[in-house]
A and B are shown apart, each in its own frame.
Chain A
């Protein structure tokens, strides 16, 4: 079974631009979560999508948005990029099985975004 894939793996943008990152979950997984990882703030939850609906949201400004398609693939978008948005963006998928307490999240390799 293929793992979680994220594209692109590396990205360089300049301030003010916008960017779209893509995540393809493991086949059959319905939940996709996004995290931002920076040296200063660590790993922070951005949002989670389940069945094309945002189920949870972290404390990030409205410049950060996402969506999920009917095939569970997800995209996140960051508009008006700031220097502080430079980070590793990790996507995780989960089978989200009812009655299973330890619905493990499987992480992708991440997209490293650099904002100049």
Chain B
């Protein structure tokens, strides 16, 4: 069963507008972490934001915020004031369990294109 689902293969957004990238997840573990990464065409994965399952507030990092709805098992990434440099592939990922582990389960990704 797919543990991380990103239903939007591609998205377009106008420069300076906000955009929401969807992510739903599936786990029976009460302790987990959710990550968003950006992958430009160069290939390197860039960490954007993290949300822990026990965090009471939605995570924010500059122009990035995470709309975490635990009951719906969704962790959507919101990018405000889009910039041309935001054009890239975006991945949602999950780490299960309380014990530190380097194993991340990734979604299929969403390609975002920012239009001038």
B47 touches A105 (CB 8 A): yes
Which one of A55, A106, A112 contacts B43 once the chains associate, using CB atoms below 8 Å?
A112
B100 touches A31 (CB 8 A): yes
Counting chain A residues whose Cβ lies within 8 A of the other chain, the interface size class is 20 to 34
B102 touches A50 (CB 8 A): yes
Residue A90 lies at the interface, judged by CB distance under 8 Å to chain B: yes
- Closest A residue to B103 by CB, please name it: A56
A2 nearest CB across to chain B (Å): 14
- For B50, list chain A residues within 8 Å (CB): 102, 104
- For B105, list chain A residues within 8 Å (CB): 45
Given A31-B100, A33-B103, A45-B104, do A107 and B45 touch, yes or no (CB 8 Å)? yes
- For B100, list chain A residues within 8 Å (CB): 31, 94, 96-98, 100, 103
Count of chain B residues with a beta carbon within 8 Å of a chain A beta carbon: 24
CA distance A112 to B109 in the complex (A): 19
Given A42-B108, A101-B33, do A33 and B102 touch, yes or no (CB 8 Å)? yes
Given A90-B45, A112-B43, do A105 and B102 touch, yes or no (CB 8 Å)? yes
Given A43-B91, A90-B45, A101-B33, do A96 and B102 touch, yes or no (CB 8 Å)? yes
Interface centre among B35, B42, B101 (most CB of A within 10 A): B101
Question: Measuring CB to CB, which residues of chain B are less than 8 angstroms from any residue of chain A?
Answer: 33, 35, 37, 42-47, 50, 52, 54, 91, 93, 100-109
A-B contact pairs, 7 of them (CB 8 A): A42-B109, A48-B101, A94-B102, A100-B100, A104-B35, A107-B47, A109-B44
